Chains A and B, each alone.
Chain A
Amino acid sequence: MRMLIVEDDRQLRELLGASFRDAGWAVELVPDGREGRYYGIEYPCDIAIVDLGLPDLSGIDLIRQWRAAGRIFPVLILTARGDWRDKVEGLEAGADDYVTKPFRFEEVAARVAALLRRAAGRATAAVEFGEIRIDFSARRVSRAGKALELTSFEYNTLEYLASRPGSVVSKAELTDHLYEEDQDRDSNVIEVFIGRLRRKLDPDQTLQPIETVRGAGYRFVLRPVDA
């Protein structure tokens, strides 16, 4: 999943970026509002973290411009003052939640996970697709109660597909959401990952969770089981 972080403080930006990359995210780091506007509008994005006190364009204006351009990804705002007027204005501009500075990374990560869950329309952090259980907040996958060892990239691929069960996801869309802008991208790599995922999730080929749609992409065919 791709995340856009717009924060003018370099240390904080790098720290957040490193922490989310460790957690398996493709992260775009942007130091000011103008660049933030460009990245948010021109590139795919699954969630954005925006500092309200940016030097050029205020965070509130930035969010407003994204929303005006029709971008609906969830936005988490960081506010330094933490007063309610900032929060109200930020959420009115189109943000979805706020975190007050200073914060712990775990707090931000929890808010991000909650926002993503909400955006995907999931009521709980963990979803069962038959035997396969995906815990989206802990980023763990198990089959029939047995934990599966997935690499970060494999998990990301699965998460993206499983967040859109039943819909076809093209290889281009997958690369767009899984890689950072300056990473080398090779759509053949996607095929390799899908292959590995299939072997790990379904070694005996009884479930066939990921279907290849000729010329279009992939589809996660399992349906979530209502709790």
Chain B
Amino acid sequence: MRSLTGRLVLGSALLLPLFLGASGWYLERSHRASLEAGEAQRLPLQVFALLAQAEYDDGISLPEQLLDARFNQPNSGLYARITGADGTPLWLSPSALSLPPAVLDYPAPVLSPGERHFVRRDRLYILSWQVLWETGSGQAAPLQFTVMESADPIDADIAVYRRHLLLWLGGSALLLLACQGVILGWGLTPLRRLTAEVAAIEAGNAERLVGDYPREVQALTSNLNALLEGERSRRERVRNTLADLAHSLKTPLAVLHSADTADSGFAGLVREQSARMEQIVNYQLQRSAGGSHNLLQLMPVLPLVERLRDTLLKVHAETQPEVAVTIDPHCQFRGDERDFLEVVGNIMDNACKYGGGKVQVSASGGAPSALTLVVEDNGPGIPATERERILHRGTRLDELGSGHGLGLAVAADIIESYRGKLEIQTSDCGGARMVIRFPA
């Protein structure tokens, strides 16, 4: 099932008949039960009436014309029979004469005196009642009164009831389906709108999802927007990087092209220009480490900084710098681990290389609010006039210096891609203080 609407429609198409069928079946059954209970209470009254009219001399006898006229009319639907102890019929109501023998031959059930038996047989409700008739001679004669009433009126009643029931249930099923259709349409409107918006983005008519979406969809749309945003900035980056790379490679290539191959300095020139190109490529490679920070995880800052510290202590084993880390274990960074290591690694590495042997790393804030990381050293520091140039060394690639501090430009680039900021200040002991700010 690929479609949500399909799923919901199929679900209710399966459930609705089941539910309505069950209630219809139950309603019909209880209606019939109540009708039959009424019948079972009416028939004993007929027996009482017959008893009142009966006389016993030699045998049982009833008047020609019975009180209930239906006993007198053939085929009236109400019939009576009196049988003796051995089951032989002693008397039949006139109405019963037209009945087929099979019905009249209904075998009298064996009952004890005073016991009643109510049953439906074919299209008749039959009540048998065993009585003991006290005769004039003081003897008790066992007699069984059987009253039969046609089931047709009740069946007809039930048929009518069933028709009504079907009409009502069918009608409400249709109504329910219609309501469901409306609810479905209303409930899925945001998704349809989303589809339309995505289609518009695909077609290039829109840049992002702008609609106000319900809570359940909001997470999806905001993630989608973040993804789109990231994708666009990544594309931009790639374009910029490519353009930067191409432009900055042009200069050394031009130098090589125009150089005199016969000149004795040619080998040196090739070496020098290839070194320059190498540096450009290196810079762009490192810069490309940053970028795809869209659906980002939260990660604790302390373990990352500690890993960097351990690495740097190994790398700078010669100079054995002291690296002090004071960071709350709950402090978190939202982003890509590679980016974080690249930024903080470069800055801490510089502090170890150019600092005076003491490095202090601290952090404040942390995701979900803004994160500020501070790396300080006790080295000579960076003159205020140099600071701008160092941070923006990356913007004009053909001005790349000797590689010293190239990492800083890379770090600044990556921080900028997080809309953050890298500031160079002077630490309390006169060294460099690098302040990395990641926004909330």
Tell me the nearest residue of chain A to B407, going by C-beta: A84
Set of chain A residues within 8 Å of B317, measured between Cβ atoms: 96, 118
Question: Who on chain A is nearest to B314 by CB?
Answer: A91
Q: Are B289 and A81 in contact (CB under 8 A)?
A: yes
Q: Is A85's CB under 8 angstroms from B278's CB?
A: no
Q: Which of B7-15, B89-97, B192-200, B340-348 contacts A (4 or more CB under 8 A)?
A: B340-348
**Complex CA–CA separation, A81 to B344 (angstroms):** 17
Contact flags B276-294 to A (C-beta < 8 A → 1, else 0): 0010001001100100000
Tell me if A87 and B311 are in contact (CB < 8 A).
yes
Of B285, B338, B346, the residue contacting A85 (CB under 8 A) is B338
Q: Which of B286, B311, B318, B342 contacts A91 (CB 8 A)?
A: B311
Q: Which residue of B lies closest to A84 (CB)?
A: B345
Q: Measured between C-beta atoms, what is the minimum distance from B375 to chain A in Å?
A: 14
Interface residues of A, count at CB 8 A: 16
**A130: B residues at CB distance < 8 A:** none
In Å, the complex CA distance between A102 and B280 comes to: 12
Residues in B whose Cβ lies below 8 Å from that of A85: 337-338, 341-342
Chain A residues with CB under 8 Å of B311's CB are 84, 87-88, 91-92
- Is B236 interfacial (CB-CB < 8 Å)? no
Total A-B residue contacts, Cβ distance less than 8 Å: 48
Is there contact, CB below 8 Å, between B282 and A100? yes
* CB of B340, distance to nearest CB on chain A (Å): 9
B342 touches A84 (CB 8 A): yes
Per-residue interface assignment for chain B, residues 333 to 366, with 1 indicating a CB less than 8 Å from any chain A CB and 0 otherwise: 0000110011011100000000000000000000
Q: B321 → chain A, closest Cβ, in Å? A: 15
- Does residue B308 face the partner (Cβ distance < 8 Å to A)? yes
**How far apart are the CA atoms of A84 and B318 in the complex, in Å?**
20
**Complex Cα gap A118–B307 (Å):** 21
B68 at the interface (CB under 8 A from A): no
Closest to A96 in B: B314
**Chain B residue contacts of A204, Cβ below 8 A:** none
Question: Are A92 and B310 CB-contacts (below 8 A) given A82-B285, A83-B286, A83-B289?
Answer: yes
Query: Does A176 interact with chain B (Cβ within 8 Å)?
Result: no
CB atoms of A97 and B345 under 8 A apart: no
Contacts of B344 in A (CB 8 A): 84
Alpha-carbon separation in the docked complex, A114 to B317 (Å):
10
- How far is B367's CA from A2's CA once the two chains are assembled, in angstroms? 50
Q: Measured between alpha carbons, how far is A85 from B308 in the docked complex, in Å?
A: 9
| Nearest CB in chain B: distance from A127 CB, A | 16
- Selected A-B contacts with CB under 8 Å, 9 pairs: A82-B282, A82-B285, A83-B341, A84-B308, A85-B338, A88-B308, A88-B341, A91-B315, A114-B318
Residue ranges of A at the interface with B (Cβ–Cβ < 8 Å): 81-85, 87-88, 91-92, 96-98, 100, 102, 114, 118
